[in-house]
């Protein structure tokens, strides 16, 4: 689809961006998902737009801790396997946890944060 004066249409831009999200390794697709520290500690619900125009929902329940670099594997969501039409590789998601800036933590909140059992409190 072409926009005005030969510019690529919006649909092409979305497809190009979506394809650049995934890296292929054999039949598997690899992607990085950025989450905030609060999401890593308290859970999250994120969507993934697949290459075949479906939407997958990735969730982490409240209380389930996701660490920086953790991997989640979604079976049968990768690339099709040759001569096996019902089989696909996996979608492997690597989580990248964004931490607050050095000066981003209010000093008056630190004692409450330090008291949390997950962070070494009692």
Q: What is the pLDDT along the chain (122 residues), one digit of tens a residue?
A: 344 444 443 333 344 455 578 999 999 999 999 999 989 999 999 999 999 999 999 999 988 999 999 999 999 999 999 999 899 999 999 999 998 877 767 788 778 777 777 655 44
Question: How far, in Å, CA of 92 to CA of 102, rounded?
Answer: 31
Q: Of 90, 21, 23, 93, whose CA–CA distance to 58 is shortest?
A: 93
As a whole number of Å, the CA-based R_g of the chain is 19
Which CATH code fits 13-99? 2.60.260.20
Distance CA 66, CA 95 (A): 8
pTM (two decimals): 0.73
Q: What is residue 40's three-state secondary structure?
A: helix
Backbone φ and ψ of 8, nearest 5°: -60, 145
* Triad 60, 64, 69: Cα angle to 5°: 75
pLDDT at 7: 42
Q: What pLDDT does residue 96 have?
A: 97
Alpha carbon distance 66, 56 (integer Å):
18
Residue 114 is predicted with a pLDDT of 78
């Amino acid at each position: 689809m072409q926009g005005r004066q030969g510019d690529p249409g919006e649909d092409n831009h979305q497809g190009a961006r979506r394809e650049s999200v995934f890296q292929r390794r054999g039949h598997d697709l690899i992607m990085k998902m950025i989450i905030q520290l609060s999401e890593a500690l308290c859970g999250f619900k994120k969507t993934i737009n697949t290459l075949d125009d479906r939407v997958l929902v990735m969730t982490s329940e409240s209380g389930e801790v996701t660490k920086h670099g953790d991997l989640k594997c979604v079976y049968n969501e990768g690339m099709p396997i040759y001569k096996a039409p019902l089989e696909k590789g996996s979608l492997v998601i690597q989580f990248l946890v964004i931490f607050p800036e050095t000066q981003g933590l209010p000093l008056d909140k630190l004692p409450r944060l330090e008291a949390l059992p997950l962070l070494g409190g009692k």
